[in-house]
Structure 1
Amino acid sequence: MTLMSHRNRLHPPLQSEPVRRIEAGPWAIELLPGCAYATRYVATQAGIGFAFDSQRGLHAIGSDRVQPFVAMPNGLAFVPVGCDVLSESPRGGEYLRVIRTDGIALEGDRAFNNRIDQQATALAWRMRAALLQASVEGDWEAWALALSERVTGSEAESTAPHGSITGNRMRLLDEFIDAGLDGPLSVPAMAGLLGLSEGYFMRAFKNATGKSPHAYLIDRRLARARALMRDSTATLTEIAYACGFNSQAHMATTFKQRLGMSPAQLRQCSRFS
């Protein structure tokens, strides 16, 4: 990976972030790091997934037809028992996976992804924060059950319309953001890239992803920072500038607000987990 500023040179790679896992009653809950992956399996248990980041790759879910996919940020997913799954991505994205392990099947026989559900989003982000902090405290069983109800129960919502923010437009946005992440990026610039007015773009983006463009940009900066902390020995100051933060202190404040821990704490956890 090459940084765009001479201030931010990469050094030899470090150990990657670990898979963070907790078992609570009949539930196994995992936070998978954002990295390249390739997997093929038949689901012996139904699985619930939640994509924190947008990600792209190839998949075949319950079918022998392999086709490109785009996972939208804040997208809820479900894989029923017995479903044949092939999925691979050159970059991946941070992903929450929840499985029931006591043999009691989750309802539902249809795989889906990219469902935007505000209550599921709040639950997933709460679980993510607790897993990042390696916290065993928390109402894990209740959280997992509530998330499963958003997928399979009477509370489940149909997929929200994506409006004009399609998978292809999300790909263009991600490429645009990644290319300019070490500098200022604005909502008008993102809207202009797609040929949309600023107001329409903001509404369509929130409808498609469950978050504002500004919040998404911050998440992309954090994801890049975490990747550099994971994959290089660059200093935190170098990483802050490479990801478009004004300073290391600005990056640290954002980490605390969004992840509940400092960059130094997260890097330490990644090294010794």
Structure 2
Amino acid sequence: MVFMSLRNRLQPSLAPEPIRRVEAGPWAIELLPGAGYATRYVATQAAIGFAFDSQRGLHAIGSDRVRPFDAMPNGLAFVPAGCDVLSESPNGGEYLRVMRTDGISLLSDRAFNNRIDQPAVNLALRMRRALLQNSVEDDCEAWALALAERAEGIDASPTPPQDSITGSRMRLLDEFIDAGLDGPLGIQAMAGLLELSEGYFMRAFKNATGKSPHSYLIDRRLAKARASMRDSTASLSEIALTCGFNSQAHMTTAFKQRLGVSPAQLRRRST
């Protein structure tokens, strides 16, 4: 949801995942790992962002008014050059940032965030996989341009769908999921928490996040596993079970399908 100065990202007790960066033509693409942060800066260049995870904290974007924020997963964002940014989040979340390096301006002078756009989701997932794999063969320049075009075509002040999940409901759902990740969780339990029918819940969740509840649940398990790999010395088999995977092999399959790398590969690259 927010753009943060790299030097201000808070460091956990153990070595974090590295910030991954690639320059592709006139674009700089950065993958910021999930970590708490507190920052204030004036954006020297416009940037497009994509929040893979839910984020929440306090921010003031182009304003002196500091307000609580809830960033939805899969949310596209934009901060124009010259925008004054204050933002802090105790947990943060994995975040993609795309900027032009040739001085050409991006989009308008209006900041926005939490915009769900399925083509943008697909592009961001491709770029994350390429960065995690350290791949130099992927067409990141074309993907960055396509992502900028998607952001440029999005109304900065859209009307939220009536059957969408609100930020407060997303917070409640995240807390429920995180508390029960070491066991089975299903659509019925998540819908019941919000006092919605399963059909309505599935439709509203997809409108709010661009993904199904089941897909989101897997992503939360992966995020917790990555945090455990970063912040503890527990074995991969132990991490798999505490994150709700049936086995280390099950977790490895999910990592490869979603991220393009195995847990062992990701852990080695983070040391």
TM-score between both structures, scaled by the size of structure 2:
0.92
Residue of structure 2 equivalent to 1:27: 27
Residue of structure 2 equivalent to 1:116: 116
Residue of structure 1 equivalent to 2:154: 156
Asked if 1:87 is matched to 2:53, the reply is no
- Matching residue's letter, 1:59: H
In the TM superposition, what is the alpha-carbon distance from 1:160 to its structure 2 partner? 6.7
Residue of structure 2 equivalent to 1:228: 228
Could you say what secondary structure the match of 1:170 adopts? helix
Distance, in Å, in 1 between the alignment partners of 2:159 and 2:260 is: 29
Give CA-to-partner distance per residue, 1:235-262, whole Å, 9 cap, x none.
Answer: 0010001000001111011111111111
Residue of structure 2 equivalent to 1:205: 205
Asked if the contact 1:77–1:111 (Cα under 8 Å) also holds between the matched residues in 2, the reply is yes
In the TM superposition, what is the alpha-carbon distance from 1:157 to its structure 2 partner? 5.3
Distance, in Å, in 1 between the alignment partners of 2:113 and 2:154 is: 13
Asked if the contact 2:164–2:207 (Cα under 8 Å) also holds between the matched residues in 1, the reply is no
Distance, in Å, in 1 between the alignment partners of 2:65 and 2:13 is: 36
- Matching residue's letter, 1:156: I
Asked if the contact 2:181–2:243 (Cα under 8 Å) also holds between the matched residues in 1, the reply is yes
- Matching residue's letter, 2:34: G
The number of equivalent residue pairs is 258
Asked if the contact 1:161–1:207 (Cα under 8 Å) also holds between the matched residues in 2, the reply is no
Could you say what secondary structure the match of 1:76 adopts? strand
Asked if the contact 1:14–1:231 (Cα under 8 Å) also holds between the matched residues in 2, the reply is yes
In the TM superposition, what is the alpha-carbon distance from 1:138 to its structure 2 partner? 1.3
Asked if the contact 1:117–1:157 (Cα under 8 Å) also holds between the matched residues in 2, the reply is no
Distance, in Å, in 1 between the alignment partners of 2:159 and 2:183 is: 32
| Unpaired segments ≥5 residues, structure 1 | 1-11
Distance, in Å, in 2 between the alignment partners of 1:108 and 1:131 is: 28
Residue of structure 2 equivalent to 1:56: 56
Asked if the contact 1:13–1:233 (Cα under 8 Å) also holds between the matched residues in 2, the reply is no
Asked if the contact 2:221–2:244 (Cα under 8 Å) also holds between the matched residues in 1, the reply is yes
Give CA-to-partner distance per residue, 1:135-157, whole Å, 9 cap, x none.
Answer: 121112111111111112xx435
- CA separation of 1:160/1:232 partners in 2, compared to 1, >3 Å: closer, same or farther? farther
CA RMSD of aligned residues (A): 1.3
Give CA-to-partner distance per residue, 1:27-55, whole Å, 9 cap, x none.
Answer: 11000000101111111110100000111
Residue of structure 2 equivalent to 1:71: 71
Aligned identity (percent) is 79
| Unpaired segments ≥5 residues, structure 2 | 1-11
Q: Which runs of 4+ in 1 moved over 4 A?
A: 157-160
- CA separation of 1:119/1:74 partners in 2, compared to 1, >3 Å: closer, same or farther? same
Distance, in Å, in 2 between the alignment partners of 1:137 and 1:15 is: 28
Distance, in Å, in 2 between the alignment partners of 1:110 and 1:58 is: 19
In the TM superposition, what is the alpha-carbon distance from 1:101 to its structure 2 partner? 1.2
In the TM superposition, what is the alpha-carbon distance from 1:107 to its structure 2 partner? 2.2
Give CA-to-partner distance per residue, 1:78-130, whole Å, 9 cap, x none.
Answer: 00111100111000000000011111111211100000011111100000000
Distance, in Å, in 2 between the alignment partners of 1:241 and 1:107 is: 45
Residue of structure 1 equivalent to 2:9: none
Asked if the contact 1:160–1:208 (Cα under 8 Å) also holds between the matched residues in 2, the reply is no
Asked if the contact 1:57–1:88 (Cα under 8 Å) also holds between the matched residues in 2, the reply is yes
Give CA-to-partner distance per residue, 1:133-183, whole Å, 9 cap, x none.
Answer: 11121112111111111112xx43564725341000000000000111111
- Matching residue's letter, 1:40: R
Asked if the contact 1:115–1:160 (Cα under 8 Å) also holds between the matched residues in 2, the reply is no
